[in-house]
Amino acid sequence: MTTTTDLVSYEDALASYDPVMGLEVHVELGTKTKMFCGCSTELGADANAQTCPVCLGLPGALPVVNATGVESAVKIGLALNCEIAEWCRFARKNYFYPDMPKNFQTSQYDEPIAFNGYLDVQLEDGEVFRVEIERAHMEEDTGKSTHVGGATGRIHGASHSLLDYNRAGIPLIEIVTKPIVGAGERAPEVARAYVRELRELIRALGVSEARMEMGQMRCDVNLSLMPKGAEKFGTRSETKNVNSLRSVERAARFEIQRHAAVLSSGGTIVQETRHFHEDTGSTTSGRVKEEAEDYRYFPEPDLVPVAPSREWVEKLRAGLPELPLVRRSRLREEWGISGTDMQAILNAGALEPIVATIDAGADAASARKWWMGELARAANESGTALDELAITPEQVARVAALVSEGSLNDKLARQVIEGVLAGEGTPDEVVDKRGLKVVSDEGALTAAVDEAIAGNPAIADKIRGGKVAAAGALVGAVMKATRGQADAARVKELILEKLGAAEG
């Protein structure tokens, strides 16, 4: 982009204006099949290999709702403290765009399955902020377009586009907040914390992996400013498809600075969609927002209403897992760590790996030590997430077990981890292949000690004569012979014992 956007400093913007945000998050459900047909949702298939008359919108095809999709929607609604509709319908959202071959998206309009809830989110310093939820509704994803002929795959300048409809019809839940007011300068942080908390919640429910980098969770950030103390909201902009936690925070921050610059110079904000640019952290103008009625929503005649029985809803409520915020404070207490330590674990993405390592038999302290130490360093160096490292929590637990039973010391354990990460096999295989084991076998140690004494008669004599300090040279020889795998303290004891000298 060659045009630059006028911005005022963040501090100046907040001195004059209060930000109001609305966050819309789309979550792709992890169901095996699409929302309205039995096509597989598995990633990585050949283009257009997962389509059928229903998701291609061929004449006469009739959709049928995926029961698991509805169940997931209800679970999400309940976890967000929402009311669940007793009766609701799908609606057609009509628009012409080739990403939906039907020329409409099946969605929900004025009868969402879940509404009026809230999600408590925790900020970096531990403060809890309540975000009110307007609604969560069911809909379907669109196909994937590839724009050909323009620069770097953008629509602009493209000669034509190519459509793959494998993604068209994959279940989506759209979660919309009520206007978030009163966050002030912490608004961008609240936005980030909300999306993170929502992601943890979705994962805890097991309804989606919610991987933002894979587009399984996408956020639109609506933002407006009003003069400090005012009650009437300003005109908003909608920054679309912000796809990482960091970007959510940056997009909100950028828009606050941009709106403030426009407003304080006497301009007006245009209601429009904007695109976020990951590289610069800025947004640029998209299209002027169509009015809601332009979509000509009407009840979907091919799908009958969904009426979740109260018994079913209560059954699902009773089966909800412990929610992330509650779980985190429980774990923090169990592990006896501070809020700051817990925050560091969360920021590192180490919570689930640590829990899984403990589940695999490690004690909390060593699980934390390895994930927050050696493994965090390895992840950092290779630029990957902790849970993407080539080591499983079970393997980390095995390393911890080898240390606690005394067959590895920390130094050797680090080498084992290094070997596992390098693809050399399981911890036990690496121990074998690299020959990494603390030599605790007394026989082997004694033999090595005897050998060192025999090979260094002069030093041995000095020790016999009372010069205990000379033992260091023999310990060194033994360690060398055992390639660092002996317990040095035990070696020294053995040497002194053999030579009839006592530790001074």
Partner 1 sequence: MPGITREEVAHLARLARLELKPEELDHFAGQLDDIIGAVARVSEVADQDVPPTSHPLPLTNVMRPDEVRPSLTPEQALSSAPAQEQQRFKVPQILGEE
> Would you tell me which residues interact with partner 1 (CB under 8 A)?
31-33, 37-40, 46-53, 56, 64-70, 87, 89, 94, 96-98, 101, 145-148, 154-156, 158-165, 275, 286-287, 294, 296, 299, 301, 303-308
Burial class of residue 276 (count of CB atoms within 10 Å of its CB; 0-12, 13-18, 19+): buried
Smaller CB separation from partner 1, 142 or 366: 142
**Count, residues in the chain:** 504
CA-angle at 369, arms to 366 and 375, nearest 5°: 120
> Which residues are CB-neighbours of 34 under 8 A, at least 6 positions away?
41, 54, 55, 66, 140, 169, 170, 171
Smaller CB separation from partner 1, 159 or 338: 159
End-to-end CA separation in angstroms for the chain: 76
Smaller CB separation from partner 1, 315 or 411: 315
CB of 388 to partner 1, least distance (A): 27
CB of 103 to partner 1, least distance (A): 9
Smaller CB separation from partner 1, 37 or 260: 37
CB of 27 to partner 1, least distance (A): 16
CB of 317 to partner 1, least distance (A): 18
CB of 314 to partner 1, least distance (A): 16
Smaller CB separation from partner 1, 38 or 465: 38
CB of 79 to partner 1, least distance (A): 20
CB of 142 to partner 1, least distance (A): 13
User: Mapped to the 3 state alphabet, what secondary structure does 278-308 carry?
Assistant: CCCCEEEEEEECCCHHHHCCEECCCCCCECC
**CA-to-CA distance for 245 and 228, rounded, in angstroms?**
27
CB of 206 to partner 1, least distance (A): 13
Smaller CB separation from partner 1, 15 or 307: 307
Largest Cα separation within the chain, whole Å, is: 102
**CA-to-CA distance for 483 and 474, rounded, in angstroms?**
14
Nearest to 255, CA basis, from 265, 269, 244: 269
Nearest to 15, CA basis, from 264, 192, 237: 264
**CA-to-CA distance for 280 and 262, rounded, in angstroms?**
20
Beta strands in 68-122 (DSSP E): 83-84, 91-94, 104-107, 114-122
CB of 141 to partner 1, least distance (A): 16
Burial 168-193 (b: 16+ CB within 10 A, else e): bbbbbbbbbbeebeebeebbbbbbbb
Smaller CB separation from partner 1, 259 or 274: 274
**CA-to-CA distance for 396 and 427, rounded, in angstroms?**
8
Smaller CB separation from partner 1, 88 or 471: 88
DSSP-derived 3-state class of residue 104: strand
CA-angle at 189, arms to 268 and 117, nearest 5°: 90
Smaller CB separation from partner 1, 162 or 444: 162
